[in-house]
Amino acid sequence: MLPALAVVGGVIILPWVFTLWMSVNEWRIGGAAHRFVGLENFARLLGDARFLDSLWRTLLYTGLSVVAPLVLGTLAALLFEKKLPMRGLLRGIFVMPMMATPVAIALVWTMMFHPQLGVLNFLLSLIGLEPQDWVFSPATVIPSLVLVETWQWTPLVMLIVLGGLASLPQDPYESAQIDGASAWQRFRYLTLPMISPFLLVAVTIRMIDALKSFDIIYAITQGGPGTASETINLYLYTVAFTYYEVGYGSAIALVFFALIIALSMLLLHLRQKSALLAGGLK
């Protein structure tokens, strides 16, 4: 086990220990030698309006990027569970967005978002709607970026929920039909509780992925216009690699890591409870 432990220590543990050490030091690349400051970097975060704004944007972006794919992915799973003509081909086409590279996706959507030449405003004009500024307006940039996330990751939620639907027993449905339950009642009181562990798995995966989203946002907006789409990841990147304040940037990274761990633990706890509930229904 020693070689494996050495790799884990060198690749995972050592960088985090070094990050922790940097977070308690004032260290600017190219400047004077580092100086131990204790918890000053963390206290500075509480008065940093730009950090607090980026935290709010991160939570908003994450929430929307979880809810939209969850709803659409669940609906798609319910649809693809049925015996449709060419169901296999349609499933293959539906999952194609999640296979594309993030930078390629960002470049394509940047062209689609263009106010004058983009295809999205052209489609809006066909149905008589006003053109939108999309990622070029502070009011619409976050929803526009969420649209890209939803397009790319709804197929992942669909695959997870499809796996859950395939594992459901049929006896409760037969009993419900005999008792005269409607399709909505069967979904509300049977399907939804029994697939809730799979939904929480999808929520956990999407939450972690959306929280640490960087490439799509940076490639499309670089955090703009202004700082309207600057999430914690982008602010961390700016602090550490534009302002060269690696000590302060390390403090941001640790706070961000603690946020991810806290939300993940909460979702894992909810998943255990939902698994017990689903087991009881089965």
Model pLDDT, residue 89: 86
pLDDT at 276 over 70: no
Model pLDDT, residue 20: 92
Banded model confidence at residue 280, pLDDT cuts 50, 70, 90: low
Amino acid identity for residue 103 in this structure? V
Banded model confidence at residue 100, pLDDT cuts 50, 70, 90: confident
Q: How far apart are CA 68 and CA 149, in angstroms?
A: 9
23-75 pLDDT tens trace: 999 888 776 667 888 899 999 999 999 999 999 999 999 999 999 999 999 99
The answer to whether 134 and 115 are in contact (CB under 8 A) is yes
Find the Cα–Cα–Cα–Cα dihedral 32, 34, 36, 37, rounded to 10°.
60
Could you tell me what percent of the chain has a pLDDT over 70?
96
Q: How far apart are CA 124 and CA 222, in angstroms?
A: 26
pLDDT at 109 over 60: yes
Calculate the average pLDDT of the chain.
Answer: 89
What pTM value is reported for the model? 0.90
Provide the residue ranges of all domains of the chain, joining segments of one domain with +: 48-281
pLDDT at 105 over 70: yes
Q: What is the mean pLDDT of residues 115-138?
A: 91
The region of weakest confidence among 145-154, 225-234, 237-246, 259-268 is: 259-268
Model pLDDT, residue 217: 93
Per-position b or e across 94-129, b if 16+ CB within 10 A of its CB: beebbeeebeebbeebbebbeeeebebbeeeeeeee
pLDDT at 282 over 80: no
Model pLDDT, residue 277: 60
Model pLDDT, residue 66: 94
Model pLDDT, residue 210: 92
**48-281 maps to CATH 3.20.20.70:** no
> Which of 103, 107, 104 lies closest to 118 in space, CA to CA?
107
196-246 pLDDT tens trace: 889 988 998 999 899 989 999 999 999 989 999 999 999 999 999 888 999
Q: Token pair for residue 108?
A: 């394509």
Distances (CA, A) of 74 to 46, 91, 165: 39, 14, 10
Taken as a whole, the chain contains a residue count of 282
